[in-house]
């Protein structure tokens, strides 16, 4: 039952990063490459028409996590309290940036909310990547000092960064050189995904230019991926053990590799949906590979005093997990219906759809 709910939550989180990921990426492209008012308006619209339905998946993931793995939920939400609050404010400013820009036709007003949308999207992509970096690196569970836990073994607290800025420290911070690398991979990946979304959903004048940008970003992503795999072995020498013990798990990195290689041919793709599908593979493969490398651990410990958090020592009782199946099925059904209806209503190019007025 624990494995089932782990897979269910992983699916919901992956769907969130695929769907809301293109919103983040759209904001990054909007910030750096949209120059004319017409392009700014239509690119903002390509995110604005979808962001609220996409974030439903994040709410669903949080609810499922609280239900299935309450100890992990409590640990993470206390240990990552500061960055979670930062993420919450970034989500708020991204949303109001989209919703407010079209309320008044003053250039200064539009510029303010355009920056809010773009910078918030960029920082959200970076912080979600840093969060993944913290999960694969591990944390100081129990706040161990001199071999003694300061508090219970499943709790931790991390400063935003420490003086060494090193992931190899006994007391790592949230931001260090390793998590920054993972954060940059997230930013580049979601920028590629957002660019493909803009090409798919709009007739923006920069669509042709975006294919060149995707190609260049993909080169940077390939280099960052190789570099991150090397430093990951330094940070966690056992990070690939699961793939050695269970060779079938190599399927997940192959998904990522297919997306990465395919995007080098972005200029030759005939259908816009193909580029979006390839960047979707990047996100799908990246998240599933990270989770597969840890399973059944969901939060490693950087000390030897306290055990890592796993799907088994953080799960609810079997009765609670089994009862949740019924309500989970009902919730998933409603969520999927809502998703299908919304996507059908917003099918095709969105250039002439009304938003923000």
Read off the pLDDT of residues 124-156 as tens digits, 9 standing for 90 and up.
Answer: 999 999 999 999 988 888 888 877 877 887 888
With 90 as the cut, is the pLDDT of residue 195 above it? yes
Contacts (Cβ under 8 Å, ≥6 apart) of 161: 173, 174, 175, 176
With 80 as the cut, is the pLDDT of residue 161 above it? yes
Joined together, the tokens standing for residue 284 give 């799908």
Q: What is the DSSP letter of 49?
A: T
Question: What does the pLDDT look like over 37-90, one tens digit per residue?
Answer: 888 888 888 888 888 888 888 888 888 888 889 899 999 988 888 888 999 999
Which pLDDT value is given to residue 236?
86
By 3-state DSSP, what share of the chain in percent is helix, strand and coil, each rounded to 5? Answer: 70, 5, 25
On whether the CB atoms of residues 172 and 158 are closer than 8 A, the answer is yes
Torsion angle defined by CA atoms of residues 180, 186, 189 and 193, in that order, rounded to the nearest 10 degrees: -150
Ranked by mean pLDDT, the top range of 144-153, 300-309, 316-325 is: 300-309
Joined together, the tokens standing for residue 200 give 């798919």
Kindly state the average pLDDT of the residues 296-315: 87
At 357, the pLDDT band (50, 70, 90 cuts) reads low
Look at the chain and count its residues: 357
Which pLDDT value is given to residue 119?
95
At 356, the pLDDT band (50, 70, 90 cuts) reads low
Rounded to two decimals, the pTM is: 0.92
**204 or 283, higher pLDDT:** 283
Rounded to whole angstroms, how far apart are CA atoms 185 and 225? Answer: 7
Q: How many CA atoms lie within 13 A of 259 on its CB side?
A: 25
On whether the CB atoms of residues 73 and 155 are closer than 8 A, the answer is no
Average the pLDDT over each of 88-97, 160-169, 225-234 and give the range with the smallest value: 160-169
Kindly state the average pLDDT of the residues 249-253: 92
At 97, the pLDDT band (50, 70, 90 cuts) reads confident
Rounded to whole angstroms, how far apart are CA atoms 81 and 208? Answer: 42
Which pLDDT value is given to residue 281?
96
Q: Name the average pLDDT for the chain.
A: 88
Average the pLDDT over each of 175-179, 180-184, 233-237, 302-306 and give the range with the smallest value: 302-306
**340 or 280, higher pLDDT:** 280
Rounded to whole angstroms, how far apart are CA atoms 187 and 83? Answer: 17
Percent of the chain with pLDDT over 90: 41
């Amino acid at each position: 039952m624990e494995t089932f709910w782990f897979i269910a939550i992983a699916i919901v989180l992956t769907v969130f990063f695929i769907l809301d990921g293109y919103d983040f990426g759209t904001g990054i492209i909007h910030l750096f490459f949209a120059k004319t008012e017409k392009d700014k308006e239509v690119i903002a619209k390509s995110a604005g028409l979808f962001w609220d339905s996409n974030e439903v998946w994040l709410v669903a993931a949080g609810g499922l996590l609280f239900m299935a793995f309450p100890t992990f939920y409590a640990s993470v939400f206390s240990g990552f309290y500061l960055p979670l609050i930062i993420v919450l404010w970034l989500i708020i400013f991204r949303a109001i940036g989209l919703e407010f820009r079209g309320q008044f036709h003053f250039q200064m007003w539009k510029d303010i909310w355009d920056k809010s949308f773009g910078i918030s999207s960029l920082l959200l992509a970076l912080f979600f990547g840093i969060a993944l970096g913290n999960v694969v690196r591990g944390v100081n569970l129990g706040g161990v000092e001199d071999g003694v836990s300061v508090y219970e073994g499943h709790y931790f607290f991390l400063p935003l960064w420490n003086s060494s800025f090193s992931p190899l420290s006994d007391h790592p911070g949230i931001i260090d050189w390793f998590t920054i690398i993972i954060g940059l991979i997230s930013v580049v990946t979601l920028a590629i995904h957002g660019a493909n979304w803009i090409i798919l959903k709009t007739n923006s004048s920069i669509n042709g230019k975006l294919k060149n940008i995707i190609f260049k970003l993909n080169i940077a992503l390939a280099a960052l991926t190789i570099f991150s795999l090397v430093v990951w072995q330094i940070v966690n020498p056992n990070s690939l053990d699961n793939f050695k013990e269970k060779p079938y798990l190599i399927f997940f990195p192959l998904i990522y590799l297919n997306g990465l290689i395919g995007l080098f041919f972005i200029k030759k793709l005939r259908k816009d949906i193909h580029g979006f599908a390839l960047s979707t593979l990047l996100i799908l493969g990246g998240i599933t590979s990270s989770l597969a490398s840890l399973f059944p651990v969901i939060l490693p410990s950087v000390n030897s005093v306290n055990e890592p958090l796993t799907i088994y020592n953080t799960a609810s009782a079997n009765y609670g997990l089994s009862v949740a199946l019924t309500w989970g099925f009902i919730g998933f059904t409603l969520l999927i219906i809502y998703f299908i209806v919304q996507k059908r209503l917003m099918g095709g190019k969105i250039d002439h759809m009304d938003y923000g007025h």
